[in-house]
A = this chain, B = another copy of it.
Amino acid sequence: MSLDTLPPHQGGAGNLARLLAQALLAGHWQPGDIFPRELDIGSHFAVSRNQVRNALTSLTAAGLLERTAGRGTQVREMSDWHLLNPLMSEWMTGLVNLDPQLVRAIYAFRYSAEPVVAGLAAQAAETEDLQRLEMAFEGMTQTAGNIEARAEHAEYDVAFHDATYRASHNLVWRQMGHLLRPSIMALIHRSQHRTDTLDDSLARHRQVLDAIRSRDANSAEIAAREVLRRTAIDLGIVN
């Protein structure tokens, strides 16, 4: 695979990295393939070798590439990717057609993890956590009506789930909130965003909020699972 099909480079710090990463995430190269040389990338995008090396350093840190002096740069397979690297989430978020295998893997993780997180949140949430949850839910409610505000609605959705992870008051769980954005943003491209499904989604979110507010860990677990069942349908995952 070559660089020819990639969009032009617009400048900016992490832009080149994002460009290359998204091409890799989209499957432009196969695992084991040799990635273009530093100098080729540099001349193709008209940037210095330094910028190329900076970008490749990021991709290497994310587990997308493996570099060895003399041999070159090799593309690693999906199981080696560092899905929890925040940069990865950023790159995945902007991708219109995320690999279905990835969407499914992230969903499966959320389905097994988020009930637990919601339960912890019900036990540990403090006033400000509840405020964050309520504000996010309020935002979801107000943007549910018009189709224009799809992106904004998704942002509130992300904020709601992120607030849940934060409310667990655990440093590790909180980091995983990064995974939410690409997972929820995938909804925009995959679901029809119909009014009745949105109402259903809202109702299920409200149950999570209520359970956490009343410090009922069991109910929170169950409600979180229900939210994700709704998500599965909207994502087109049979399950």
Contacts and interface: CB of A to CB of B under 8 A. Distances in A.
Contact of A61 (B58, B81, B112): B58
A82 B85 contact: yes
A11 B179 CA distance: 36
A105 interface: yes
Contacts of A119: 112
A179 B171 CA distance: 12
A169 to B, nearest CB: 9
Contacts of A176: 84
A139 interface: no
A7 B86 CA distance: 31
A81 B38 CA distance: 31
A61 B54 CA distance: 12
A109 B58 CA distance: 27
B79 A109 contact: no
Given A86-B82, A179-B172, A112 B116 contact: yes
A46 to B, nearest CB: 23
A170 B82 contact: no
A108 B61 contact: no
Chain A interface secondary structure, helix, strand, loop or mixed? helix
A172 B105 contact: yes
A172 B82 contact: no
A83 B113 contact: no
B179 A109 contact: no
A119 B170 CA distance: 22
Nearest to A57: B57
18 contacts: A57-B57, A58-B61, A79-B171, A81-B171, A83-B171, A83-B175, A84-B85, A84-B172, A85-B85, A102-B171, A105-B172, A108-B170, A108-B172, A109-B172, A109-B173, A112-B117, A112-B119, A113-B113
Interface of A: 57-58, 61, 63, 78-79, 81-87, 102, 105-106, 108-109, 112-113, 116-117, 119-120, 170-176, 179
Given A61-B87, A82-B175, A106-B171, 12 more contacts: A57-B57, A79-B174, A83-B171, A84-B176, A102-B171, A105-B171, A108-B172, A109-B170, A112-B117, A112-B119, A112-B173, A172-B179
